[in-house]
């Protein structure tokens, strides 16, 4: 991640957005080839909006290919910030972990000054048994996010994640409209995370800052669907983390009017139809550290360009 500014100079938008977007260009709907994805990531890192960029998301089984294609682009200067990767899981947990270990060993010699490292692993877990099995096999120094189904017993699954000391992941959409979770189910997930002290990240369906109806893929004749906005999600999580109600968090998730949001150096505010909520820098910092760490997106330009168009950058 980019070097953080001293707290005294961090504006509210910086705290809210810094390192928020994990780049998942290899995944649908972008589904780029590895050379294109790694070139994009290198370009985004060097851009003026690079401070919003998080990790490069790569399937564990594609790490060898990543090394082949990304090697010429990796930082080589002393003091350069290495690329950090999050590896996504396959049905073969042991093979995934072997690939991650081998990747980090290949890059270990120069990591202090250059190169790349997988420091995060993301994998689906549909049951308490899955959670316990994955946690038992995964090295403690590999930050692990377990993606749980929202149509299951989320409270039980999040409690199990808390017991094994890992983190949670929520899927916020996909390439068909039926994959978009309801605001109520999203709120239940994050409320369970706060109740059990579990930090989370999100994935899919969060290309846009505000809730709205968007194309579900990049095809010219793509269907549209109602998608969540990453600003809505972040502020709903901040509200829950401050002890706010589920009902108001759902209102935040459903807000589609950009004019109701206000950004200043000291806070981000939502001027709802019945109330105004103000999220200070401290509240936003707590949300980023204990609530929503980041979200995966196959596009980096959409979150950046649309945030800039709204005057938030």
Question: pLDDT at position 174, please?
Answer: 92
119 within some domain: yes
Q: How many domains does the chain have?
A: 1
Query: Do residues 115 and 72 lie in contact, with contact meaning Cβ atoms separated by under 8 Å?
Result: no
Mean pLDDT score, 110-137: 89
Q: Is 242 helix (H, G, I), strand (E, B) or coil?
A: coil
The pLDDT confidence band at residue 1, using thresholds 50, 70 and 90, is: very low
The predicted-structure confidence for 251-270, as pLDDT tens digits, reads as follows 999 999 999 999 999 999 99
193 within some domain: yes
The predicted-structure confidence for 161-175, as pLDDT tens digits, reads as follows 999 999 999 999 999
The Cα–Cα gap between 173 and 224 comes to 12
Task: Record the pTM.
Answer: 0.92
The Cα–Cα gap between 138 and 111 comes to 21
Question: pLDDT at position 7, please?
Answer: 45
Residue 255 domain boundaries: 11-305
3 within some domain: no
Where is pLDDT greater, at 2 or 164? 164
Query: Do residues 33 and 285 lie in contact, with contact meaning Cβ atoms separated by under 8 Å?
Result: no
Question: pLDDT at position 5, please?
Answer: 40
Summary mean pLDDT of the chain: 92
127 within some domain: yes
- CATH number of 208's domain: 3.20.20
- Euclidean distance between the first and final Cα of the chain, in Å? 18
How many CB atoms lie under 10 A from the CB of residue 189? 25
Question: pLDDT at position 2, please?
Answer: 41
6 within some domain: no
């Amino acid at each position: 991640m980019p070097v953080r500014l001293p707290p005294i100079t961090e504006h509210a938008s910086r705290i809210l957005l810094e390192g928020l977007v994990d780049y998942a260009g290899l995944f649908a709907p972008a589904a780029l080839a590895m050379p294109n994805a790694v070139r994009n990531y290198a370009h985004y890192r060097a851009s003026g909006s690079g401070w919003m960029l998080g990790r490069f998301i790569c399937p564990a089984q594609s790490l060898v290919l990543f090394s082949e294609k990304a090697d010429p682009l990796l930082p080589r200067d002393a003091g350069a910030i290495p690329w950090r990767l999050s590896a996504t899981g396959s049905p073969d947990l042991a093979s995934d972990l072997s690939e991650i270990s081998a990747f980090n060993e290949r890059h270990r010699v120069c990591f202090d000054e250059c190169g790349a490292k997988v420091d995060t692993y993301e994998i689906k877990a549909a049951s308490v048994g899955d959670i316990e099995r994955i946690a038992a096999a995964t090295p403690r120094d590999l930050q692990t996010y377990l993606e749980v189904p929202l149509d299951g017993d989320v409270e039980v699954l999040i409690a199990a994640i808390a017991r094994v000391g890992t983190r949670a992941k929520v899927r916020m959409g996909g390439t068909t409209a039926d994959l978009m979770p309801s605001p109520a189910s999203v709120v239940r997930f994050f409320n369970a995370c706060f109740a059990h002290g579990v930090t989370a990240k999100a994935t899919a369906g969060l290309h846009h800052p505000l809730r709205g109806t968007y194309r579900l893929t990049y095809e010219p004749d793509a269907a549209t669907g109602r998608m969540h906005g990453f600003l809505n999600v972040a502020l709903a999580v901040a509200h829950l983390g401050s002890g706010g109600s589920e009902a108001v968090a759902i209102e935040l998730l459903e807000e589609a009017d950009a004019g109701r949001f206000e950004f200043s150096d000291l806070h981000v505010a939502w001027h709802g139809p019945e109330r105004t909520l103000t999220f200070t820098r401290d509240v936003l910092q707590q949300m980023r550290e204990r609530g929503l760490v980041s979200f995966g997106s196959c596009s980096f330009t959409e979150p950046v360009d649309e945030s800039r168009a709204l005057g938030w950058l």
